[in-house]
A and B are shown apart, each in its own frame.
Chain A
Amino acid sequence: MTDVLEHPVAVGDHGHHEDHGPRGVLKWLTTTDHKVIGLSYTVTAVIMLVIGGLFAEIIRAQLASPNGTLVSLAQYNELFTMHGSVMIYLFAGPFAFGALANIVVPIQIGAPDMAFPRLNALSYWLYLTGSITMLSGFFTAGGAANFGWVGYAPLSNSINTPGAGADLWIGGLLLTGFSAIFTGVNLVATIFYLRAPGMTMFRMPIFTWNLLVTALLILLAFPVLTAGLIMLYADRHFGTHIFSVAGGGVPVLWQHIFWFWGHPEVYILALPFFGMVTEIIAVFSRKPVFGYKGMVFATLTIAALSLGVWAHHMFTTGVVLLPFFSIMSLLIAVPTGIKIFNWIGTMWRGEIWFSTAMLMAIGFLVTFLIGGLTGIYLASPPLDFFTHDTYFVVAHFHSVVMALVLAGMAGLYYWGPKITGYLLNETIGKIQFWFLFVGTQVFTFPIYLLGLRGMPRRMAIYPHDPQWKFLNDVATVGAILIGVSTILFVVNIIVSWKKYPAGDNPWDGHTLEWFTTSPPPHHNFYRLPPIRSERPTWDYNHPEHTALGHGDHAKDAAR
C-alpha cells in the first residue's frame, strides 16, 4: 500500500517539464502523447461518423420510392455494407476505446501517459491506414465491398465477390483489428500498472473500470476476428476451402467466428459509452455513482455473458442449440437493468444540472432503454424467427447505436473542454441534442413497424409493397434530423472556437482529470490530491460531503 498524500504536492521534476518537441503537423505526426493521439482519434472518428452518415442519407433517399433509381442495386449493396462497416469498425469502436479512452483513462488514474506510448501511436496509424484502406474500395473498378458488414461466406468468396473492394475491406479490417488489439494491450497495462498512489481497483472511476473490461474483451475477441479474416482471405486467394462446401468446408463456420467476435464487440462498443454516461450523470447530479460496486460487477457480468451469446445472431441457421444461447442472451438483461436502475438511482434526490452533456446522457438512457427492451425479444428464438433480417432488427440495433452516439456526444461536451481548454456553446449544444434525440426516435419507430410488417433489410427496392413508402419516408425525416444535428455539432465547434475558456474544473467534476489544468500539462499533473475514494477531486473540493457508506441509507440521510 502506498502512502496517501495529505496535501497536494508537486510531482517531481516532471511537474514543470515543458514539451520542447516539434510543433504543428510534425508534432502531430511524431507524437506519442496520449492526449494528442486521443485528439487525432477523435477527429478521425468524427470524420468517419460523417462519412458513414452520408452513406445512410443516400440509403434513405433511395428508399424514398418503392422502385428507387437513385443508385443501382450494386451500388446500394456497397452503400449499406460500407455504412455498417464505417460506423462499427471505423467510428464507434475507435471513438470509444481509441479517442476518449486515450484522452481520459491515463488522467483519470493519475498517470503521465499510456504504458506504451509508441505502441499507442502505432495503434492510431494502423487505424488511420486501415480506414483509408477499407474506404479506398470505392475507387476500384468493382466498387467497394458489397456483402454486408458481416461478410457472410460463401457470398464473400472469390467467385461471388471477385473484386478488389472485398480484399481492401478484409485488409482494412485486419489493420483496424490490430489497432484495437494494441490499444487493448495498452489499456490493460496502463490501468494495472500506472495508477497513482492510493488509486486502488475499487477507487477507479467507472469509466476506467469499463475501459479495463472493454480492453480485456478486445483481447479475447479481436484475435478471433483476425484469424477469421485471414481464413477468408486464404479461401479467396490461396485455394483453401475453410468456408466452401465444395472443398469440404463449412460456410456456417464463418458465422461462428464472426459472431464470436461480433457479440463481444457489441459490448466492446457499448461499455465505454456506459462508462461515459455513468460519470456524466453522477457529476451533473452532484452525487456519487449509485451502487458503484454493483455497477462494476454488472459490467463484469455483461462481459462474461457476452462471450457466450454469439449464436443468437444465428438462431435462424437451424444449426445452433437454441435454449442455451437464448437463456444466456436473456440473462444479459439483468446486469443491464441494474445499470439502468443505478443511473436513475444516481439522479434520485440529486441536484441535476441539465447541461448539454447531461441532456445527451438522459437521451442515451431513454434510447438505450428502447434498444434494450427490443433486444429482449430477439433473445427468444421464436420471436427472432420472424424478425430476423427484417427492419425490426435494424431498428433494434440502431436504437442501441444511436444511444451510443448520444452518449459519445455527451462525452465530447463533457471531456472536450478538458483537452482543448475551451467549452462548447451550450445553446447550440441543446438544440443539437433535440435534433439528435427526436431524430433518433423518428427514425427508429417507423422501421420497427416496417420490420414487423415484413420488410427485410438490405432491400434496394420494395416493388411488392409500395405501402411501405410512408413509414420509410417518416424514417427518412428522422435521418435528416440526425444529419442536421451533426451539422449543428460542426457549427458549434466553429462558433465556439477558443471562445469560452473552460478553467480546470467547469463541471465540479469528481475524478482526477478535473484536478489538473485544461488542457493538462505535458505529463498531465503538477500535483495530485489524496485519493481516498473514486472521487478524489470532489473529496478535495468538498471535504465535508464525502460519500455515505453502506449502512447510511437514504432514510438515515434524509434532509
Chain B
Amino acid sequence: MDSPALSPQGAPTRSRRWRRLRRAAVLPVAALALSGCTVPSFGAHPADTTTGQSSYHLWQGFSIGAAIIGTLVILLLAWAILRYRRRSADAIPAQVQYHIPLEITYTVIPILIVIGLFAATLVVENKVVANPKTDVTINVNAFQWGWKFSYPGSSAVVVGQTTQDPTMVMPVGTDVHINLTSTDVVHGFYVRAFNFSRYALPGVVNQFTLHAVNTGTFFGQCTQLCGLYHSLMFFNVKVVTMSQYRSWLNSFSGSSAATAASAANTAQSQQTSSIVPSKPTASHGAN
C-alpha cells in the first residue's frame, strides 16, 4: 500500500487556532494510511494490472489530499458567508489588506503539498512507464475503425472492426510488451480495467508493458476521436493462463497462409474457440 502521506506540514503559523486546524487536517490522513485497504476508492476502481493498481493507490492518495484541502476551503468560505453577512447598510469593517505571515503560510504549505504529490507521482510513473525485458510481445495496430493484434514469432493475427470486436489474448502474471501504432489518424488504446491508456500515433511506435494480475475478459475501446465510427471502435482483452496462451498461439501455426489471407475471418473463427470469449451481445446502431 503506497498511499502517499499528504500531511500539509509547513511553515509554523502564529495563531493557536491555525495549529489546531492543521492537526485536525493531518489526523484523517494518518488514520486512512493506517487502515490500509479500507481506504475508499473515490470513484476509481482497483485495476487488474500491477501498474493499474499503483495508479489506483496514487488516485486514493491524491483524493485524500483533495478531500482535506477542499473541505478546509469550503469550511473557511462557509464561515465567512455565515459570519460576515452585512448587518447594516453603513457599517464599514476594518480595512485590512495585508497579513504577510498568513500569506507566506498559504504559499509555503501548498508548495510542500505539491512537492509531496510530485514525489508520489514520480514513484508511480516510473513503474507505469517502465519497459522491462519481456518474453511476450504483442503488436497493436489501430486503424479507422478497428484494431489488429499480431504476435511476433507467431502467425497469430486478430483483426476486427466496427461491428465486430477483436480480442487481444494475453497471458496473466507476466510482463507483456505492447508495440502500439496507427496506420491512419490518432487513436487511443484504453482498457478501463487496467487504468491505462496510450495514444496510437501514425508514424510512432509507442511501447509499454502490461502485467495482468487477474484472468478474465476486459473491455477496451478507442478514446481519441478518430472520425465517423469512433463510437464503435471496441476491442476485448482476454487474459488467460500462460499454458492457455501458448496453446492459443499454437492453434494458428498450421494455418498461417489462411490467416494471412483473411485476417478478419481468422478473428471470426476464433470467436468459437474455447478460450476466446463470445462477442458482446449489444448491437451497434451504426446508422
Contact = CB atoms under 8 A, between A and B. Distances in A.
B86 A352 contact: yes
A383 B184 contact: no
Interface string B101-114: 01100110011011
Interface in B55-112: 55, 58-59, 62, 66, 69-70, 73-74, 76-77, 80-81, 84-88, 91-100, 102-103, 106-107, 110-111
A340 interface: yes
B84 A347 contact: yes
Interface string B199-225: 101111011100000000001011111
Given A251-B201, A323-B122, A461-B231, A380 B86 contact: no
Given A285-B84, A348-B80, A330 B117 contact: yes
Max count, chain A CB within 10 A of own CB: residue among B54, B120, B201, B280: B201
Given A353-B86, A449-B43, A330 B201 contact: no
Interface stretch (B26-34, B134-142, B185-193, B251-259): B185-193
B225 A553 contact: no
Contact-size category for A = 35 or more
B198 A318 contact: yes
B195 interface: yes
Nearest to A76: B231
Given A251-B201, A366-B77, A326 B121 contact: yes
Contacts of A222: none
Nearest to A463: B282
A386 B197 contact: yes
Interface in B236-267: none
Contact of B227 (A155, A251, A316, A381): A155
B231 A73 contact: yes
A147 B93 CA distance: 54
Contacts of A448: 43
Contacts of A323: 118, 122, 125
Contact of A383 (B62, B107, B229, B280): B62
A557 B286 contact: no
A154 to B, nearest CB: 5
A451 to B, nearest CB: 9
Contact-size category for B = 35 or more
A69 B287 contact: yes
B95 A548 contact: yes
A325 to B, nearest CB: 11
Nearest to A331: B114
A547 interface: yes
B5 to A, nearest CB: 16
A67 B283 CA distance: 9
A338 interface: yes
Interface string B36-61: 00000001110100011011001100
B195 A287 contact: no
Contacts of B149: none
Contacts of A289: 97
Nearest to B183: A245
A461 B100 contact: no
B96 A291 contact: no
A453 interface: yes
Contacts of B153: none
Interface string A525-559: 00000000000000000100111111011100111
B146 to A, nearest CB: 15
Contacts of A285: 84, 93
B1 interface: no
Contact of B73 (A250, A318, A344, A460): A344
Given A147-B225, A316-B198, A382-B55, 15 more contacts: A77-B230, A160-B227, A286-B92, A318-B204, A319-B204, A323-B122, A338-B106, A354-B85, A374-B66, A382-B128, A385-B197, A386-B47, A386-B195, A389-B224, A454-B219
7 contacts: A73-B286, A294-B103, A344-B77, A351-B86, A381-B121, A459-B230, A464-B282
